[in-house]
Amino acid sequence: SDHQLVYPPCPADMDWSKHFSSPISTSTTTPEEKRVEVADIGCGFGGLIISLPKVLPGVRMLGMEIRTQVTEYVDERIRALRRLAGGEAYADVGVIRANAMKFLPNFFERSQLQKVFLCFPDPHFKARKHKARIVSPTLASEYAYVLAPAGVLYTITDVEDLHHWMAKHFDEHPLFERLIGEEVDGDVCIAVMRTDTEEGKKVERNGGRKFVACWRRREDPEWV
Ligand code: SAM
């Protein structure tokens, strides 16, 4: 449960060194640590973050997963891939155990992220369970806080009701603008999200539908 979760009091206190293996710069000036720019919320077995470097090379990305054993599995998977591939492959892919519904601003500064993925979130079908869903007006504001202006939030689900739920909350939020047409069709991350997530594969095998929707984080309004 949550009281066993380890999380930093603020993003500056987070030690990322054990999650990533990018070499430290050898320059004499203090090396600036590379920052996480992509978060996969509820990453499950890690299919997305392991495939994304194909289309986003050199970008530092973090899977966040609440289940301990699943997180450990993904961590091992990443370390094994690094050993197998050698060099700097998978150096910028990491995973952390976290309750993303509670502690996102502890890990990320305001406007730090370029992309946030919500892939096949748990549907929590019953109405009285909807408060456990990973999208709500409050959580939409948190995603807006950690996303940089022009950053993109991606959603995919096979549950039509959940798709409409997520769409409603982001469409109604003043800091999100729905992406349509070419902006969605031309986005290389979407193909990865459809085909390389474990859930995406399962839905494919079962011949199910996949509902995709994405939003751009708007600029903050100017207060007059
Ligand atoms: N995204 C993966 C995929 O597409 O294959 C996994 C989808 S799975 C249906 C949902 C995952 O979200 C589960 O692994 C679950 O443990 C995780 N999860 C649920 N609530 C979470 C939370 N508050 N913080 C982090 N992870 C969470």
Q: Which domains does the chain have, with CATH numbers?
A: 34-217 (3.40.50.150)
Cα 77 to averaged position of ligand 1 atoms, centre (Å): 17
- Would the annotation count 68 as a binding residue? no
- Most confident stretch, 2-6, 25-29, 197-201: 197-201
Q: Would strands 113-119 and 38-41 be described as parallel, antiparallel, or unpaired?
A: parallel
Q: What confidence category does residue 24 fall into, taking pLDDT thresholds of 50, 70 and 90?
A: low
Q: Which residue has the tokens 């011949």?
A: 207
Q: Ligand 1, closest atom to CA 118?
A: 1
**Whether the predicted pLDDT of 201 surpasses 60:** yes
Q: Is the pTM of this model over 0.80?
A: yes
Ligand 1 close to Cβ of residue 62 (< 6 A): no
Residue owning the nearest CA to atom 17 of ligand 1: 42
Q: Is 158 in the pocket of ligand 1 (CB under 6 A)?
A: no
Element (H, E) at 49: helix 47-51
Any binding-site annotation on 198?
yes
Q: Return the pLDDT at 219.
A: 95
Q: How confident is the model at residue 5 (pLDDT cuts 50, 70, 90)?
A: confident
**What does DSSP say about strands 93-97 and 176-178: parallel, antiparallel, or unpaired?**
unpaired
Distance 120 CA to ligand 1 centre (A): 8
pLDDT at 93 over 70: yes
The pLDDT tens digits of the residues spanning 110-156 come to 999 999 999 999 999 999 999 999 999 999 999 999 999 999 999 99
Question: Atom 13, ligand 1: which residue's CA is nearest?
Answer: 44
**Higher per-residue confidence, 190 vs 29:** 190
120 Cβ below 6 A of ligand 1: yes
> Which residues are marked as active site?
122
Please state which of the ranges 12-26, 48-62, 65-79 shows the lowest mean pLDDT. Answer: 12-26
